[in-house]
Amino acid sequence: FESIFGGGGFTQQPGGGFQGGRGSFAQPGQNLEAAIGVTLYQAFHGEKVAVRVSDGRRLNVKIPAGVKDGQKIRLAGQGGEGSGGGKRGNLIIKISIKPDPNFKLNGKDIELTLPIAPWEAALGAEVKVPTLSGTVQLKIPANSSAGKRMRIKGRGMPGKPAGNFYVRLEIATPPADSDEEQALYEQMRDTFKFEPRSSLNVSS
């Protein structure tokens, strides 16, 4: 066979053809997978995070702003090495967003439980609300009850369209540590004709 084909042999190409010479199969590298956990702040703003690949490499990867929990991003040419001159494979990174102590993520929407004083709930107030894109002023209407949900449009996760930001009111009761504070509570008890459990309709 060497006298007929020149002694060089043949190598098959990815498209099914053959190449003369003493080369080897040109095969692309394998796709590799990695998983990283990011904070909600990092997911909101889109920041560089360190990713360790199974082959030992450590990469700094810029995640897109507004990335979703469980979303996969592909880095072309960052997978396993090819052989015989083949290209590297791709790196597939799965993103998980860590729970945040203050903000709750629901799809593209973000929710915050906001403590307010009883007089703010009763009389209404303007309060500062922290969001992932900065502080905003929120007007709380008078006679607001605990659990009331208020929307700040477009302040959720970035995107087209952006998500919304929801504030759930929680009434924080101040402690009555001094005699004067206890007297004020007693005065409220005697002044207000208020039965908070009247809607339960519990029969004896």
Sorted by where each starts, the structural domains of the chain and their CATH numbers stand as 17-97 (2.60.260.20), 103-190 (2.60.260.20)
Peptide bond into 161 cis (omega under 30): yes
pLDDT of 97 reads 98
Cα separation, 103 vs 88, in Å, equals 40
Q: Which residues have CB under 8 Å from 146's CB, separation 6+?
A: 121, 169, 170, 171
pLDDT of 203 reads 62
Query: Contact at 8 Å (CB) between 194 and 101?
Result: no
Q: Could you give the 3-state DSSP secondary structure of residue 62? A: strand
Position 8 pLDDT exceeds 60: no
Position 68 pLDDT exceeds 60: yes
Average pLDDT value for residue range 101-106: 97
Position 70 pLDDT exceeds 80: yes
pLDDT of 56 reads 87
Q: What is the mean pLDDT of the chain?
A: 88
pLDDT digit string, tens, across residues 174-204 = 999 999 999 999 999 999 988 888 888 766 5
